[in-house]
Structure 1
Amino acid sequence: MDEQTALVLALQLVALFSIAGALLVYLLCKIRASNGPEAPGSSPGGGKAVLVTCADNCVGLQIAIHLANRGFRVFAGLKDGASSGSPDDSVSSRIIRAWQKYRESLVGPCHGALVALPLDVTREDLLHEAVDIIRAHLPAGEDGIWAVINTSGLSYRGRLDQQDIAHWDAILKTNVVGVLRTARTFQGFLRSASGRLVNFGVSHGDEAGLVAYTASRYAVEGASNALRKELEPAGIKVVTLNLARVTPEMMFVSPRLKTNEGEGEISVDMGGCIEYQPVVLSKHSLRVLDVAVTTGTPKQSYDLTPMKQWKPVHFIKSIIV
């Protein structure tokens, strides 16, 4: 083999390895994209259906709006309207309607959607009605939910010897039995989409005055571990989210809209934001939530952190992007 032939052969080998390397990088990027959160401004939801069981509290409302902004078709349960069958009067429902109007005003395609429906995890009839409502809103040919996120919760603070036993019953009925009812009701939907059930687990830093509530959170943690093994053959993942240093009052407090001083009127800025308080989850927590919801093989649990500084006297703007 002469020197010129050897040089040509070497150049061909270099080109071949370059092409192979480029293909390998491309495949790695595709795998990473399918198993992780998308970059800001993209639409990782792709119109996938997600149920947030309660948007009457601040953590549920924030999660519902965030996922809708990220391109998911979010069904947000509103307990306040469950008795009348029409969730139209609560603060959360007004915030959701403002979000919907804002999205309608945008130019260009909007992949996300936010649909309110009456839902109470302690009522079997409303759970089954929710199935029918969701099925009616799914695109033709679809019959599955990508994720069911249990944000329903209840707590009472006080010394054990001073609490009414009825409070314990209400906590367990909502926080524990409600999770089990939800899992059973939407198991078929999740199986169809190889979806995931997302529950709030144990918060770090147990404190006095929350004995019954803490017991319910440990019960949900244990139930999630057992459900994970039971539902795995059906292709359903079970994920727990743990919040550190956040009180249940902060998680489950009802959102409040900003009002004009002296007028008592609702002030909703339609220029791109809705003003309400409080906002519970930090930007970092929302990124972790994105991973838990979008990744193809989620971990069993994720730790979320609350807002570093939460001042109830101030209103926080939830930006719609």
Structure 2
Amino acid sequence: MTSLKDATVLVTGANGGLGAEFVTTAVARGARLVYAAARDPKGWGDNRVVPLQLDVTDPDAIDRARERAGDTTILVNNAAIFPRGDLLTAPLDDITANIETNLIGPIRLTRAFAPALRSAEGALVNVGSVLSWFAVGKAHSVSKAALWMATNAFRLELSPDGVQVLGAYLGPTDTPMQAGSNATGMNKPADVVAAVFDALEAGQHEVLVDETTKRVHAALSQPVTALYPALASR
């Protein structure tokens, strides 16, 4: 298990609805310092929060972040994008941007900060999605499914060195990324982050934040038509 008390936390995508909640909740739970990383970092008005310029698709920016935040004990890979569009018709640049940001970015960050996490016997938190197991997100689903497997692989590599690896999975959440969504009953960011940090401090490997995510995850052991009933009539 990993305590947030006196931890040094790096949160990517810190300007977004979920990222900002990770920052403020980490401070509220006793983090010594929080690096709030974003492409265009903002001020926080709190000396425990350090704005950090970071584009997770830029290897040089990751190197600079590692040099600035080398005392990180908990890395939260939260930054993500969600361009809409089908795999067959969306601009290929949108598809590759999804994969670069949502998969390759977290892999690069984790590789860069692995020595610090090992030294501190700290933690890695990868923020996934119900769309890791449900293809309606198209390219986003592809990237999040790959992040799910990368999280499992990192757990095998880092756990022997005392690093906790937590995969966090959630359904639609009321953030700017979901703007224009028709989803009802969306999660509140504060509830999501509380569930994730509770799981982290309880020493869990994975947290399914809401009932939608639990239902979709359970359907993976069933025939494919359980998730995609329209296929049953074809």
Normalization by structure 2: what TM-score? 0.77
1:44-103 Cα deviation digits (max 9, x unpaired): 6332101102212211111111111221111110212xxxxxx3xxxxx14x23xx2xxx
Q: Which residue of 1 aligns with 2:66?
A: 131
Aligned length: 203
Q: Which runs of 4+ in 1 moved over 4 A?
A: none
Matching residue of 1:77: 37
Question: CA distance change for structure 1 residues 287 and 58 in 2, over 3 Å: closer, same or farther?
Answer: closer
Partner of 2:167: 240
Structure with max Cα Rg? 1
Q: Which amino acid aligns with 1:67?
A: A
Cα–Cα, structure 1 residues 177 and 207, in superposed 2: closer, same or farther, change >3 Å? closer
Find the aligned partners of 1:251 and 1:151 in 2 and give their Cα distance: 14
Is the 1:206–1:214 contact (alpha carbons within 8 Å) kept by the matching residues of 2?
yes
Pairs within 5 Å for 1:241-320: 241-246=168-173, 250=175, 252=177, 280-283=188-191, 285-295=192-202, 298-305=203-210
Question: How far off is 1:145 after superposition?
Answer: 2.7
CA gap of 1:251–1:214, structure 2 versus 1, over 3 A, is farther
Q: 1:177-202, CA deviations, whole angstroms, 9 ceiling, x for partnerless residues?
A: 00110110000110111011110223
**For the Cα contact (< 8 Å) 1:251–1:280, is it kept in 2?**
no
Q: How does 1:173-188 map to 2 (within 5 A)?
A: 173-188=100-115
Instruction: State the alpha-carbon separation in 2 of the partners of residues 253 and 133 from structure 1.
Output: 32
Distance 2:115 2:178 in 1: 31
Written as runs of structure 1 = structure 2, the 5 A alignment for 1:77-96 is 77-80=37-40, 87=41, 93-94=42-43, 96=44
CA distance in 1, matches of 2:139, 2:157: 27
- More divergent stretch after superposition (215-224 vs 196-205): 196-205
Alignment partners' CA distance in 2, 1:45 and 1:180? 23
Q: Which amino acid aligns with 2:198?
A: V
SS in 2 for 1:225: helix
Residue of structure 1 equivalent to 2:226: none
Q: Superposed, which structure 2 residues align to 1:1-321 within 5 Å? A: 45-72=4-31, 73-80=33-40, 87=41, 93-94=42-43, 96-97=44-45, 100=46, 113-135=48-70, 144-203=71-130, 206=134, 208=136, 210-246=137-173, 250=175, 252=177, 280-283=188-191, 285-295=192-202, 298-305=203-210
Alignment gaps of 5+ in structure 1 = 1-34, 37-43, 81-86, 88-92, 105-112, 136-143, 255-277, 307-321
User: How far apart are 1:227 and its partner, in Å?
Assistant: 1.1
Corresponding position of 2:232: none
Q: What is the identity, as a one-letter code, of the residue corresponding to 2:35?
A: F
> What per-residue deviation string (whole Å, max 9, x for no partner) do you get for residues 11-47 of structure 1?
xxxxxxxxxxxxxxxxxxxxxxxx59xxxxxxx6332
The alignment yields a C-alpha RMSD, in angstroms, of 2.6
- Structure 2 gaps of 5+ residues are 180-185, 212-234
Identity of aligned residues (%): 27
CA distance in 2, matches of 1:186, 1:253: 29
State the 1:251 CA deviation.
Answer: 6.1
